[in-house]
Structure 1
Amino acid sequence: MSGAVSRVKILVAGDSGVGKTALADRISSIGMKFFTWTIGCSVSVKLHTYKQGTPEQNTYFIELYDIGGSNHHKESRSVFYQSTHGIILVHDLTNRKSQLNLQRWLAEILSTDGDGLLPSSSLDSEQFVGTTQIPIFVVGTKWDLIDDNLRKRLKRTPCSIAEQCGGDEIYVSLNNMSAFAPGSTNAVKLSRFFDKVIERHHYSRDISSPFSDKKKTILYSPPFTTPPSAYSPPSYTKFYHKD
C-alpha cells in the first residue's frame, strides 16, 4: 500500500507507580481501566495531526513506549531506548524523590549508544541535562492529591529538568477523563511537543541526536492515506520476564 503513515517513537519513563501507563492510555484516548505494574514495555498508539490548520498539515502515528520502572529490569530495558525521537519524563507530585530521579532516567536513556548502555563508570547524569537535542516533555501526576500550598509553589517554580532541557511541563490528575480535553492547556502543550518531535525527526536537516536513524533521513512524509485500522504495532508490544 502506498502512502503509509509515518511514525515517531516517544519513550514514557519514570519511577514505578508514578502513573506512566495511565498517562499513555489517557493520551491515546483509551478509557479507564485497572492498571497494574508494567514489566518491560507496553506500547500505546495515537494518531496525531502535525501543524493542524496549516499548509504543512499531515498525520503521523505517535508510538508511546511505556517503560517499566523497576530496577530489576534496568539492564534489559535498554533495548527499548534505541531509535527514540522524544522523551516524556513522568514523576509523582506526592513523591519528591520521583522528580529527583528524572535526571537519572534521562541519563540512562541518553547513554544508550545503539549497542546497549554505556559503562556506569562513564556515566555522569548531569552532563546530559540541558545538552540533549532530543525533545523532552515533563509530566507531574496526581495533581489532585497535593495541597494548595504545594500547587502554588509548583506554579511559581517549574521542575528544574524541564527548564534545563527547554521543555514544557504539565501537572495532571489522571483519573480526570478531561485531563487532555481539546483546547485545554495540557492538550495544547502536548500537541506542541508532538509537533516538535515530528519536526526534528522528519523535517530537520540537523540529525545529530544520538537516536537519529543512521540509514535514512526523511524530509517529507507522503500524504495520509492509511486508515488507523491498518496500523500494525511493533511485534514486541509486551515484554515479560520474571524477577
Structure 2
Amino acid sequence: MTEKSKVKEVKVVLLGDTGVGKSSLAQRFVTNNFKPYCETTIGASFMSKIVVVDGKHLKCQIWDTAGQEKYHSLAPMYYRGAAVAILVYDMTSAKSFEKLKEWARELRTQGPTEIILAVAGNKSDLEDRREVDTGVAQTYADDIGAAFFETSAKDDRNVSDLFTAMAGRVPAAASPADGFRIDAHVPRREQTPKRKSCC
C-alpha cells in the first residue's frame, strides 16, 4: 500500500451566517494567510489540506458554504455526507449566534445522523466588541453535543486546533459518504464569481 493510498479523506463543512469569517478560517488553515477583506462566497468553495493526527494522514476536504439567505437552499448539497460540521458565529454579533442555532436545528433534522459537530466563535481578536459570552456559547455547545472553540483567523488563534481536532475525531472506518456518530459528538477552491465584503 502506497503512502497516498493511506490518506483518509474527511469531509468538513463550514456553516454560519454571512460575514462570520468562514472563508477566512478555511484560508488561514489551508494557506496560513489572512486577508482583512475577502470576497463573498457564492454557493460554496472547496479547499483541502492533509494533516497528521496520531500518526495518521487525514485529508480535510473543506466545503465553505455561503451564508446569505438566498443560498441557504443549496446547503444540503454540501453537508450531505459530511463527517464534520463546523458551525461558525462572530463573537461580536449576537445575531450570528442565533443564526448558528438555526443551522444546528437544520442539521439535526436534515443532516447526516452521525455527523460530528463543532461550534466556533470567530473574531476573538475583537474582545472589546464581544456580544456573545464565552460561557453562554460553551453551554450551548455542550447542550448540542458539540466541541467548542473560540478562534481568530486574523491572529491565527485555535484555527489549526479546530480543524485538526475535528478531523481526528472521525472514526477510522468511516468514509466521506458515511454518516456516523461518536459518543462525544464532539471545510481546490472552485472558481465561482464572488462579490467583495468584509469577512
- TM band (smaller chain): 0.7 to 0.9
Cα distance, 1:61 vs structure 2: 0.5
Q: Distance in 2 between matches of 1:148 and 1:98?
A: 14
Cα distance, 1:113 vs structure 2: 6.5
Q: Does the CA-based 8 Å contact 2:83-2:179 persist in structure 1?
A: no
**TM-score between the two structures when normalised by the length of structure 2:** 0.77
Match of 1:16 in 2: 18
- Gaps in structure 1 of 5+ consecutive residues: 52-56, 115-131, 181-185, 215-232
Q: Does the CA-based 8 Å contact 1:87-1:136 persist in structure 2?
A: yes
Provide the aligned C-alpha RMSD in A. Answer: 3.2
Match of 1:107 in 2: 105
Match of 2:85 in 1: 87
Q: Distance in 1 between matches of 2:100 and 2:41?
A: 18
Match of 2:43 in 1: 40
Higher strand proportion:
2
Q: Does the CA-based 8 Å contact 2:92-2:131 persist in structure 1?
A: no
Which one has the largest radius of gyration?
A: 1
- Gaps in structure 2 of 5+ consecutive residues: 181-187
Q: 1:166 to 1:147 in 2, by over 3 A?
A: same
1:145 aligns with 2:126: yes
* Bigger RCO (CA 8 Å, 6+ sep): 2
Q: 1:32 to 1:66 in 2, by over 3 A?
A: same
Q: Does the CA-based 8 Å contact 1:44-1:64 persist in structure 2?
A: yes
**1:12 counterpart letter in structure 2:** L
Cα distance, 1:110 vs structure 2: 4.4
Cα deviation code 1:78-126 (max 9, x no counterpart): 2112111000010011110111121211233444479xxxxxxxxxxxx
Q: 1:27 to 1:112 in 2, by over 3 A?
A: same
Match of 1:26 in 2: 28
**TM-score between the two structures when normalised by the length of structure 1:** 0.64
Match of 1:171 in 2: 150
Q: 1:100 to 1:47 in 2, by over 3 A?
A: same
Q: Distance in 2 between matches of 1:85 and 1:166?
A: 15
Aligned length, in residue pairs: 184
Where does structure 1 differ by over 4 angstroms across 4 or more consecutive aligned residues?
148-151, 186-190, 238-242
